[in-house]
A and B are shown apart, each in its own frame.
Chain A
């Protein structure tokens, strides 16, 4: 059974930093593309970024609102995904989900498995 368990959320002041973790099990983590998706209170889903598998280059992509402030990394030996968030803003307040990203060539992609999410609150 695939499981994704996020941790590390909490209350942080504007300008502060936080690191989220996502522990994965039930699939071959090292082969997986992984993404973070967030959801502000009462709002819709927003894609944050992804990291490809190392065999596909291990590169990262980010949404414009977080580029330069957030960093996604992975430790395949620990089956763990990370999201380092710096220079946090009040608008970063959201539930952060880690997801697996499947794809079929360049024609489609999808987020098949989701964690339960971890809440990050940025407030003074």
Chain B
């Protein structure tokens, strides 16, 4: 079982705002990173650190954190944002091991 918990599926109307959440004890002291994965493709980093976007990631993607919950927000979702989204952090044991959430399937209606 994953130490990071995500909702399995979320949907959003085209052009609307959607928040994808990730919960875990380690998030109280560690920022999450977020990855987008489309079918048959490798994951792509979309958010890291407090709220940083790699070059080429649209500014409609943003990240935030509160307590044990990290969030990925897509403001004005586009059809091409339909994908699986995974959060990642370090585990809560203090051993600096990596851990991924179970993933959220985002459907853009």
Contact = CB atoms under 8 A, between A and B. Distances in A.
A108 interface: yes
A44 interface: yes
B30 A108 contact: yes
A112 B98 contact: no
Give me the 5 closest cross-chain CB pairs, A-B, nearest first. Answer: A47-B98, A110-B48, A108-B31, A110-B33, A44-B103
A interface bracket (residues with beta carbon within 8 Å of B): 20 to 34
A11 B100 CA distance: 26
B31 A107 contact: yes
A54 B26 CA distance: 27
Contacts, number: 69
B97 A61 contact: yes
A39 to B, nearest CB: 8
Contacts of B31: 107-108
27 contacts: A35-B98, A37-B43, A44-B84, A44-B101, A44-B103, A45-B35, A45-B100, A46-B100, A61-B95, A61-B97, A62-B97, A63-B97, A97-B42, A102-B48, A104-B49, A106-B30, A107-B30, A107-B31, A108-B30, A108-B49, A109-B98, A110-B33, A110-B48, A112-B48, A114-B42, A115-B42, A117-B42
A22 B33 CA distance: 23
